[in-house]
Amino acid sequence: MKKVLVFGHQNPDTDAISSAISYAYLLNQIGVAAEPVALGESNAETNYALEHFHHTKLRVVNKASEETDTVALVDHNEFQQSISDIQEVTVYSVVDHHKVGNFETAAPLYYVAKPYGCTQSVIYGLYKEHGLAIPKDIAGLMLSGIISDTLLYSSPTCTDQDVAIAKELAKIADVNDEEYGHEMLRAGANVDDRTTESIVDGDAKSFTIAGKEIRVGQVNCVDVKDVLKRKEDVLKTMENFNQENHYDAFFLVITNILTNDSEGLLVGDDALAGFFEKAFNSTLSDHQMALPGIVSRKKQIIPPLTAAFEG
């Protein structure tokens, strides 16, 4: 087996990037040659974390099979969220915290997933299992992943384990988790400098729900008006993505990280609008609906959408 390429999902967020780093480091420590890479450019929040903990940006790759025969997936398992030629390489291992879907292998593999708020909390357990010490900067990046995925412990996806592990990591990294966390989230919530394409699709994932291809994006900000002041441009951009990629619908969730409320924007097949209204018990007006208290795509958006579409 050649060097294992380790990567998170497309449109990488802080967990995807930092988990590739912490898991590749672990693999190298246990004698498995591995390199962390990314399936896209890191965002402003992730760049803040990388800089703070002295790590270079990851090399961006589009294909694996040109350089290796073996990969490790972190923070995802669904093939449509993975590298384009995933079917042409062997999956050595998966470390994840999502539901399992559209994942299949030809051979047995290492697969470890736990229903935690962040992949880093699962990786922390692997460090324990192998009796490995976590270097200071790696601990800081692992902490960054947890803060990002749980919105500093405020998301309903956050478990007691995530909090306990984050506190441990903060000690090793020698930072105050609350102070550092707020700084990091704010660094990622500045939307004024971002292109509309990045706001719309920068953190988007594709889901196949009841046979429909649904794209769900999410953008963090400190005031939803920062995004909605460009609403016309945002809707047009969502429409463009739909047409180019044949999505049946694009749903953008604009999350205020200070209030933990969101607004949803929907563009797509009009026949699907009712499913979105039913899922969130909310009403669309000019493509927009209120999503009070909703911050988690995994726990508060995909499950009710799936139920609405399938039920």
Residues contributing to the site for a copy of itself (CB under 8 A): 97-116, 125, 128-129, 298, 303, 306
Give the C-alpha separation, 288 to 285, whole Å.
Answer: 5
Residue with smaller CB distance to a copy of itself, 282 or 306: 306
Residue with smaller CB distance to a copy of itself, 60 or 109: 109
Work out how close the CB of 301 gets to a copy of itself at its nearest, in angstroms, rounded to a whole number. 13
Work out how close the CB of 206 gets to a copy of itself at its nearest, in angstroms, rounded to a whole number. 16
Work out how close the CB of 150 gets to a copy of itself at its nearest, in angstroms, rounded to a whole number. 14
Work out how close the CB of 11 gets to a copy of itself at its nearest, in angstroms, rounded to a whole number. 19
Residue with smaller CB distance to a copy of itself, 87 or 154: 87
State the Rg of the chain over Cα.
19
Work out how close the CB of 294 gets to a copy of itself at its nearest, in angstroms, rounded to a whole number. 17
Residue with smaller CB distance to a copy of itself, 55 or 298: 298
Q: Are strands 4-7 and 70-74 parallel, antiparallel or unpaired?
A: parallel
249 neighbors 277 (Cβ within 8 angstroms): no
Give the C-alpha separation, 258 to 182, whole Å.
Answer: 10
Work out how close the CB of 105 gets to a copy of itself at its nearest, in angstroms, rounded to a whole number. 5
Work out how close the CB of 157 gets to a copy of itself at its nearest, in angstroms, rounded to a whole number. 8
The packing angle between helices 136-150 and 160-173, to 10°, is: 150
120 neighbors 19 (Cβ within 8 angstroms): yes
Residue with smaller CB distance to a copy of itself, 156 or 183: 156
Residue with smaller CB distance to a copy of itself, 54 or 128: 128
Residue with smaller CB distance to a copy of itself, 128 or 225: 128
Work out how close the CB of 180 gets to a copy of itself at its nearest, in angstroms, rounded to a whole number. 26
Residue with smaller CB distance to a copy of itself, 55 or 114: 114
From residue 169, give the alpha-carbon distance in Å to each of 120, 121, 160, 183.
10, 10, 14, 17
